Amino acid sequence: MIQINEETAKERIARRIAAEFDSSENRFVLNLGVGIPTMVADYVKNPNVYIQAENGMLGVGPLAAEGQGDWQLINAGRQIVTQTQGCSFFDSSMSFGMIRGGHVDATVLGAFEVDEQANIANWIIPNGKQLGVGGAMDLVSGANRVIVAIQHQDRKGVSKIKHTCSLPITGFHEADMIVTEYAVFCYENEQLVLKEYAPEVSLDDVRSMTEANFVVSPLVKVMEVSV
Amino acid sequence: MKKAIQILACEQAIKTMIAPHSRVMVGGFGLRGYPEALVEALVDSGIGELTIISNDLGSPGVGLGKLLTNNQLKGLVGNYYNWNPEVAYAYNEGKITVDLLPQGTFAEGIRAAGAGIPAFYTLAGVGTELAKGKETRKIGERDYVLEYSISGDVALVKAHKADELGNLVYYKTARNFNPLMAMACKHVIAQVDEIVPTGALDPECIVTPHIFVDVLVVNGGKAR
């Protein structure tokens, strides 16, 4: 089995998730979390996709070039972004009304852990060093589709896809899809189902690197990868 | 009824409106769209025992973070303090209380206060540690958590422009919580980049009507 380095892993995950939105012919509202999810924006090619930032913007453009851009125009990760033609600004209540009210078609977020019951843990590691929650709890419960973008294992080689999350939960039974550098899973009929796996790995490799139990889709295929 | 709009210097506005133990709402998200000059004046005033209701607390020693460094805080109500790790330390040491809320719940709690709604049910956080001890109720097929509205004594907001009546317009993602906070407090001080003559702002574009605003300050400038 060939190991995939971190940079390649992140790009692969972002590209694979962006491909999910290629075929939308309708206006599609997408919210992106911090980290790998932000990278998804670089690979979305479909002009029908409108990126929402929960601090109050619909129609987020690419990151501003280094040293350029408007410092008061940021995404939820405090990165300076650009605006697209037709973008709009609004207050935080309308932004979360959009999210809570089911007007956001998908959210992509990172996680510390995700488990067999589609529970997501991504807001805190209880070590006393951080105190913050952000919009994740609203997003996982409000967005129509929740896509978890994570590297398959942590730096010690421990699976992030668990039988049961051990960290505080952000949302229960909310994940719809998991994309890692080695595999794509969906939740179907309350089961975790393997849909795709990377060309570098075998089914047995995926089983051995994944703590959670999963079933293999009869239509399982090799992930299309360009990196 | 509200008194005619006053245009004051920051220091004067803070001393007139804020006292020890005040609950102060401050607009802003990640050091954008927060009223920098008013926050500086609040720090300089040395007024203590404050409860600050704001999305975050700036960075260590920056923006609202200075209030913590300066021991002016009693408590915080907000959403995200990962940008200022000193908050977690102060909380762990029992120096301040922190009421942490999901971002949408925080925003809606403020909106609700301004709109006269005492509480509301939301899906966000159901079953999590942030919903511990809170009432939940099944409505239809799902469980929701009851969240209360969030009000304050004084709001410090940042807007782009005001007219002489106090109507406000905002700038890009510097809008964030500001229009909500302007409705949720007894008194409102708005820091603006510029005051234009009444009538110069397009009525279709005004976000905060003037009845919510008591005092204008122009970026820490002088009283008129």
Contact indicator for B145, B136 with CB cutoff of 8 Å: yes
ipTM associated with this complex: 0.96
Q: Taking a contact as any Cβ pair under 8 Å apart, which residues of chain B between 127 and 186 contact chain A?
A: 127-130, 170-180
Confidence check: pLDDT of B222 > 70: no
pLDDT of residue A106: 98
Please, what sign has the CA dihedral across residues A135, A140, A146, A152?
positive
Question: What's the Cα-to-Cα distance from A75 to each of A15, A53, A93, B207, rounded to whole Å?
Answer: 20, 6, 16, 21
Q: What is the pLDDT of residues B49-84, one digit of tens each?
A: 999 999 999 999 999 999 999 999 999 999 999 999
Give the architecture (CATH level 2) of B6-119+150-218: 3-Layer(aba) Sandwich (3.40)
Contact B88 A168 (CB under 8 A): no
Confidence check: pLDDT of B221 > 80: no
Contact A138 B175 (CB under 8 A): no
B33, B88, B176: residue with CB nearest A131: B88
Asked if residue A1 belongs to a domain, the reply is no
Determine the distance in angstroms separating the CA of A107 from the nearest CA of chain B, rounded to an integer: 14
Contact A130 B82 (CB under 8 A): yes
Per-residue pLDDT of chain A in tens (227 residues, 90 and over written 9): 778 999 999 999 999 999 999 999 999 999 999 999 999 999 999 999 999 999 999 999 999 999 899 999 999 999 999 999 999 999 999 999 999 999 999 999 999 999 999 999 999 999 889 999 999 999 999 999 999 999 999 999 999 999 999 999 999 999 999 999 999 999 999 999 999 999 999 999 999 999 999 999 999 999 999 88
Contact indicator for A31, A52 with CB cutoff of 8 Å: yes
CA proximity to B160, closest of B151, B170, B150, B152: B170
Q: What is the pLDDT of residues B187-199, one digit of tens each?
A: 999 999 999 999 9
Confidence check: pLDDT of B131 > 80: yes
Determine the distance in angstroms separating the CA of A138 from the nearest CA of chain B, rounded to an integer: 5
Q: Is A164 on the interface with B (CB under 8 A)?
A: no
Asked if residue A119 belongs to a domain, the reply is yes
Chain A residues with CB under 8 Å of B68 CB are none
Chain B residues with CB under 8 Å of A90 CB are 175
Residue B4 C-beta-side C-alpha neighbours within 13 Å = 2
pLDDT of residue A227: 86
Q: What is the pLDDT of residues A2-19, one digit of tens each?
A: 789 999 999 999 999 999
Task: Give CA–CA dist B33/B159, Å, rounded.
Answer: 8
Most B CBs within 10 Å, among A58, A133, A146, to test the B interface: A133
Report the chain A residue with the minimal C-alpha distance to residue B101.
A133
Confidence check: pLDDT of B223 > 60: no
Distance of CA A51 to the CA centre of its chain: 13
Most A CBs within 10 Å, among B68, B108, B173, B181, to test the A interface: B173
**What percent of chain A stands above pLDDT 70?**
100
pLDDT of residue A128: 87
**Backbone φ and ψ of A207, nearest 5°:** -60, -40
Contact indicator for A53, B173 with CB cutoff of 8 Å: yes
Contact B176 A100 (CB under 8 A): no
**Catalytic status, residue A54:** yes
Asked if residue A53 belongs to a domain, the reply is yes
- Mean of pLDDT values over B145-170: 98
Task: Give CA–CA dist B181/B175, Å, rounded.
Answer: 11
The domains of chain B are located at 6-119+150-218
Confidence check: pLDDT of B1 > 90: no
**A43: enclosing H helix or E strand:** helix A36-43
Confidence check: pLDDT of B101 > 70: yes
Could you give the number of structural domains in chain A? Answer: 1
Asked if residue A227 belongs to a domain, the reply is no
Residue A74 belongs to what domain range? 6-222
Give the CATH number for residue A78: 3.40.1080.10
pLDDT of residue A3: 81
